[in-house]
Homo-oligomer: A and B are copies of this chain.
Amino acid sequence: MPGKTRSTAVATTAPAQPRTPKPRADALRNRERIVTAAREMFVEFGPDVPLDEVARRAGVGNATLYRNFPDRAALVHEVVLAVTSRTTDRAEEATAEEADPFAALTRFVHAAADERIGALCPMLSGGFDKDHPELLAERRRLEEAVEGLVARAMSAGRLRTDIAVGDVLVALSQLTRPLPGIACPNIDRFTHRHIQLFLDGLEAPARSVLPGTAATLEDLRRRA
């Protein structure tokens, strides 16, 4: 069921709240522009970009940004949510549209790179709540989707069996992680190569014995 992209975060707690009269069209557009600008700039310059710059790129005043996201953590939260959601969409698409299980995994991995999943890494640093329920839910949705891809590929005997979804997602994130201040087009030239090499290493039969133990996404959260 692909394409089930999350809607705005604040909107949906109770649908029948008379005190939030009307989310005014342009206000929503502003909010969206801010998130988009933030995602781009976090990718390009790291998660420490001056928020005033984000506001400028979004074409709004800085105070508008702060009205929508009370502090940097809130904005990071939203961007993480958005990237996770879009990545999950890619996983679901790959699941739905690729017949071959390993081809599905491969397609997802490269698509996730294009979604800048690597940008999540540096964003997880700062003091923002990685255990926020909303985030947890989204992460679980992602994990489930990728879990499906992994399980199917394993069942088909195409994937080595000593790895888990956490391994895929962490390595993938690291390999696609942007270098702050570096224009992205250039780095892409290499990342898809490296992702592919990594995929080749994931393929069955295993060519080595891996140290440590396979990782889930929750392991990752606990790492912090």
Contact = CB atoms under 8 A, between A and B. Distances in A.
Contact of A192 (B122, B199, B211): B211
Please tell me the size bucket of the interface on A: 35 or more
Interface string A174-187: 11010111100011
A179 B122 CA distance: 6
A5 interface: no
A126 interface: yes
A180 B125 contact: yes
Given A175-B175, A208-B200, A167 B193 contact: yes
A124 interface: yes
A135 interface: no
Given A174-B175, A201-B199, A223-B187, A193 B181 contact: no
Contacts of A192: 211-212
A19 interface: no
Given A182-B223, A224-B182, A197 B202 contact: yes
A193 B179 contact: no
A170 interface: yes
Could you say how many copies of this chain the assembly holds?
4
Interface in A158-191: 163, 166-167, 170-171, 174-175, 177, 179-182, 186-187, 189-190
Contacts of A175: 171, 174-175
Nearest to A176: B174
A182 B222 CA distance: 11
A207 B126 CA distance: 39
A11 interface: no
12 contacts: A122-B179, A122-B180, A125-B179, A170-B190, A170-B194, A171-B198, A193-B211, A196-B201, A197-B201, A197-B202, A201-B201, A203-B207
Given A122-B180, A171-B197, 19 more contacts: A46-B125, A125-B182, A167-B193, A167-B194, A170-B194, A171-B175, A171-B194, A186-B223, A187-B223, A190-B212, A192-B212, A193-B211, A193-B212, A197-B210, A199-B201, A200-B201, A200-B208, A201-B201, A203-B207
